[in-house]
Structure 1
Amino acid sequence: MKALVLNGPNINLLGLREPQIYGSATYEDLTTLCERAGAEVGFSEVTCFQSNHEGSLVDRIQEAHGAVDGIVINPAAYTHTSIAILDALKAVGLPAVEVHISDVDAREDFRQVSYAGRACFARVAGEGIEGYRHALELLAERLR
């Protein structure tokens, strides 16, 4: 099994960006966690990708078709705005899990809307970067 872990805007600034909300772990810590956690639950390959650009995320989702078995996605700010990401996820038809580092349900009202989540079979939020481990576990269970 192969998984793609996608991260949207500002996730590259983990450790610097609002540590009271997102914690002190860095993006490098996050990618290391995903690779290790993925191997532990049976993925032969976990590829992590981060972009601040919506089109780059859409391109990676499209490229995932036929190349990976499932997607873990933190669209970050695009969660609440991007129909393009939703449409790409629906188009490729791969099982996907939405993940958020913070508890988006306890934050601002505008964060309550998730377009990408409409194409995902599960959502993990508020578990810090460990939420990615949980998301990979859910994805692996779904693929078995």
Structure 2
Amino acid sequence: VSQTVTITVTDVDDTDPVFTSAITASFVENGTGTAYTAVATDANAVTYSLGTGNDEGLFDIDGSTGAVTFQASPDFELPADGNTDNAYLLEVKASDGINTVSQTVTITVTDVDDTDPVFTSATTASFVENGTGTAYT
């Protein structure tokens, strides 16, 4: 006795998303808004998340757009990253629902001159009536 059997092989998504975004970014201290945008391509929709092993706890990520933002505006003079060098390390993950890949990103906070000028001159001056020359420096 013999029987014909048909075996159908189904395709499995075994293609990882591919990051096309940079691995570094700069962000000005005291700034707000998007510090970095993760971008990955895939045949399927990609969602984004952050890892947990570096400075990720200081950031939020929009799972659908990949936009990464600081939870609090960074201060160059008081860095909050793990080794306080103003270079924040993040593991950004991209998933197509089956396959997940990660990319390490460094966001460097740059300094802004946020120190007000200080007057060193006197606050009062005298000048002789009808005088000429410099009255105050």
TM-score of the alignment, normalized to the shorter chain, above 0.5: no
TM normalised by structure 2 equals 0.22
Q: Which has the higher strand share?
A: 2
TM normalised by structure 1 equals 0.22
Q: Which has the higher helix share?
A: 1
